[in-house]
């Protein structure tokens, strides 16, 4: 199998982003993650923090959507962000071999056969310890932070892709980074890619 692109979906705190960066380094290609937000900011004029929130959390719910449709005055901010993000990711894939972290890239590039689709996850204990080590303590209990992030990420993915986040059938490789080890994950993906 000949792959050009690797998409990495990941549970919050699982180390998926770190794995993506290391993998890209070892393969000598670029890893796109926050760069996608920079691009959306440039194209849309929205603030980066605002984009980051909107591309993680679900829209204002059905009521909000209905109200927007009632007095339709163009796409919502969420729709504009989604559209710019979609176009940018598709252009990236056409342009260069790269790793793309998150942002439903697995779904957006689903019709290409040169995309290796990866999901990285880990159990709550591993992720709780990791987020405290990476992002420091917070007033909110780590388990609660994970639960909140998991819920929103799954809902966002479900709404935009109509697929279930974490369903093994949507990916070519799913790895528990706690059980397999982060460096091992990098090694496995590198070998499949090459």
Q: What sign for the dihedral angle of Cα 99, 105, 106, 110? A: negative
Mark 39-58 with x for binding to its own copies (rule: CB under 8 A) and - for no binding: --------------------
Out of 42, 125, 141, 184, name the contact with its own copies by CB under 8 A.
184
Q: Is 160 in the site for its own copies (CB under 8 A)?
A: no
| Contact stretch for its own copies (CB under 8 A) within 22-30, 42-50, 135-143, 186-194 | 186-194
Indicate the length of the chain as a whole number: 194
Q: Is 121 in the site for its own copies (CB under 8 A)?
A: yes
C-beta separation of 13 from 131 below 8 A: yes
Mark 6-45 with x for binding to its own copies (rule: CB under 8 A) and - for no binding: ----------------------------------------
Q: What residue ranges in 18-142 does DSSP mark as E strands?
A: 30-32, 98-101, 115-121
Tokens 């929130």 label which residue? 53
Q: Is 63 helix (H, G, I), strand (E, B) or coil?
A: helix
Q: What sign for the dihedral angle of Cα 46, 47, 51, 57? A: negative
| Contact stretch for its own copies (CB under 8 A) within 29-37, 54-62, 85-93, 163-171 | 163-171
Residues within the interface to its own copies (CB under 8 A): 1, 116, 119, 121, 166-169, 171-176, 179-181, 184, 187-188, 191-192
């Amino acid at each position: 199998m000949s792959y050009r692109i690797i998409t990495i979906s990941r549970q919050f705190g699982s180390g998926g982003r770190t794995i993506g960066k290391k993998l890209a380094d070892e393969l000598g290609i670029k890893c796109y993650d926050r760069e996608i937000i920079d691009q959306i900011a440039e194209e849309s004029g929205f603030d980066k923090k605002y984009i980051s929130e909107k591309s993680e959390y679900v829209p204002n719910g059905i009521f909000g959507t209905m109200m927007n449709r009632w007095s339709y005055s163009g796409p919502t901010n969420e729709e504009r962000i989604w559209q710019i993000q979609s176009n940018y990711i598709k252009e990236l894939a056409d342009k260069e071999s790269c790793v793309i972290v998150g942002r439903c890239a697995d779904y957006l590039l689903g019709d290409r056969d040169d995309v290796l689709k990866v999901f990285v996850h880990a159990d709550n204990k591993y992720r709780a310890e990791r987020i405290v080590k990476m992002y420091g303590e917070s007033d909110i209990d780590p388990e609660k932070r994970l639960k909140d992030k998991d819920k929103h990420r799954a809902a966002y993915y479900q709404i935009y892709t109509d697929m279930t986040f974490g369903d093994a059938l949507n990916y070519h490789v799913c790895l528990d980074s706690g059980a397999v080890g982060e460096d091992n994950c990098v090694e496995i993906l590198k070998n499949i890619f090459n």
